[in-house]
Amino acid sequence: MLNTETIRYKLEQREIDNLSEFATKSRFSKGRKKLEDECDLRTAFQRDRDRIVHSKAFRRLKHKTQVFLSPFDDHFRTRLTHTLEVSQIGRTIARALDLNEDLVEAIALGHDLGHTPFGHCGEGVLNELVKGGFHHNIQSVRVVEVLEHLNLCQETIDGILTHTWGFTPKTPEAQVVQLADKVAYINHDIEDSIRAGIIAESDLPKDCINYFSSVQSQRLNKMIHEIVSNSAGKPQVAMSEEGWYYTTKLRQWMFDNVYIDSPAKLEEKKARNVIKELFFLYKEMLKPICEECRIERIVTDYISGMTDRYAVMKFEENFIPKGLQSGAKDDYLFKLAKIID
């Protein structure tokens, strides 16, 4: 009979024996806020990954916007498919650099759990309405720590918090996810924008295309190689200076031509109104039963957790007039059942 008590130890030892000196080893994790027994079969970071995948917030990502609101084509990315692409890119980089794939995967799968409906449009509205602002990476940490009580390792939480611009990751695995997130959305948003007819491949900046390639797979591959070749044997994970220059230039071009004031954003005014009206509605609804200091926090947690379609449904339910609901036709059906042999 297999002694399961040895399996986690073997996996931990494999990390120690085979991973880079800079990699984060699960045996030496800083641990969880709430002490709990270890799993016999999985390392701490594998357990984090599994808890995220089984969370309700993760399942809701499939109906949250990436760039295009309620896309007409099933092949456009959602927040969930974006998350999976970040995870795949992150694992590729981590494997090449002998870093901890399980930690990278856990961070990548959890990094957008706090994202709002309607993508960055929804985030922008809440940022305007909430005292102190709203940021999806901070909300993602709140999701795993407070709302779903996942009790993740400190390294995973740090990576979720620091995946976005302006934050400094504490581990090389978190650095990987910060880069993988950028590489993923720049490339898949280009592909989706071409599919939507908003831009053409020929519109992309010529110097960026000459450096990376106009072919999606080749451009993505080049960016990943830029990270791996520049980071091998180093404690910091970063793209080469030249590669980063063209990556950020391409990202800025997407902001100028797709992310802001493009046909992709035509419905955002309506989406902003949905979030805004629900926010004020729920604040009023809670006033008779909640302390004032708690209301905004509760409403923010509720709305930020909504999917696009649920937010629209709640808006329609509360703000769109409906005709008088009549049971007459159903009544007639039952009458017929009684009178017809």
Secondary structure string (H, E, C) spanning 281-324: HHHHHHCCCCCHHHHHHHHHHHHHCCCHHHHHHHHHHHHCCCCC
Residue 340 has pLDDT above 80, yes or no: no
CB 171 within 8 A of CB 104: no
Q: ∠184-187-192 over CA atoms, to 5°? A: 110
Cβ-based neighbour number of residue 323 at 10 Å: 5
pLDDT of residue 4: 65
Longest Cα–Cα distance of the chain, Å, equals 85
Q: Which of 121, 339, 102, 90 is nearest to 220 (CA)?
A: 90
pLDDT, residue 113, reads 98
pLDDT number for residue 38: 94
User: In 3-state terms, the chain is what percent helix, strand and coil (to 5)?
Assistant: 65, 0, 35
C-alpha to C-alpha distances, 75 to 68, 70, 125, 294, 320, nearest whole angstrom = 11, 12, 27, 40, 31
Angle between helices 216-231 and 241-254 (to 10 degrees): 140
Structurally, at CATH architecture level, domain 41-266 sits in Orthogonal Bundle (1.10)
User: CA torsion sign, 308 to 311 to 317 to 319?
Assistant: negative
User: What pLDDT sits at residue 335?
Assistant: 58
Instruction: Give the burial string for 252-291 (b: 16+ CB within 10 Å, else e).
Output: ebbeebbbeebebbeebeebbebbeebbeebbeebeeeee
Instruction: Give pLDDT, residue 46.
Output: 98
Question: Average of pLDDT values for 276-301?
Answer: 96
Record the tokens describing residue 107, joined without a space.
Answer: 């961070």
In DSSP terms, which residues pair with 78 in a beta bridge? 65
Is the pLDDT at 328 greater than 80? The verdict is no
For 160-219, what is each residue's pLDDT tens digit? Answer: 999 999 999 999 999 999 999 999 999 999 999 999 999 999 999 999 999 999 899 999
Percentage of the chain beyond pLDDT 70 is 92
Give the pLDDT mean for 254-279. Answer: 89
Per-residue confidence (pLDDT) for residue 66, from 0 to 100: 92
Residue 338 has pLDDT above 80, yes or no: no
- The first and second tokens of residue 58, run together, are 């993760």
11 closest CA partner among 101, 97, 91: 101
Residue type, 197: G
Does residue 322 carry a pLDDT above 90? Answer: no
pTM over 0.85: yes
pLDDT at residue 70 tops 80: no
Give the mean model confidence (pLDDT) for residues 55-77. Answer: 89
222-246: average pLDDT: 97
Among the residue ranges 11-20, 244-253, 264-273, the one predicted with the least confidence is: 264-273
Q: What is the pLDDT of residue 2?
A: 60
| Predicted confidence band of residue 329 (pLDDT cuts 50, 70, 90) | low
Nearest to 101 by CA among 113, 91, 112: 91
Q: With beta carbons less than 8 A apart as the criterion, state whether 78 and 2 touch.
A: no
Distance of CA 186 to the CA centre of its chain: 14
User: If pLDDT is split at 50, 70 and 90, which confidence band does 323 have?
Assistant: confident
- Mean pLDDT computed over 282-286: 96
Question: How many other CB atoms are found less than 10 A from the CB of residue 115?
Answer: 27
Is the pLDDT at 96 greater than 90? The verdict is: yes
Check: CB of residue 308 under 8 Å from CB of residue 117: yes
Residue closest to 23 by CA, chosen among 174, 238, 225: 174
Start and end residues for every CATH 1.10.3210.10 domain found in the chain: 41-266
pLDDT at 262: 74
Name beta bridge partners: 32. 153
Grouping H, G, I as helix, E, B as strand and the rest as coil, residue 47 is helix
pLDDT for residue 226 is more than 90: yes
* DSSP secondary structure code for residue 163 in this structure: T
Give me the chain's average pLDDT, please.
Answer: 93
Residues 127-151: tens digit of each pLDDT: 999 999 999 999 999 999 999 999 9
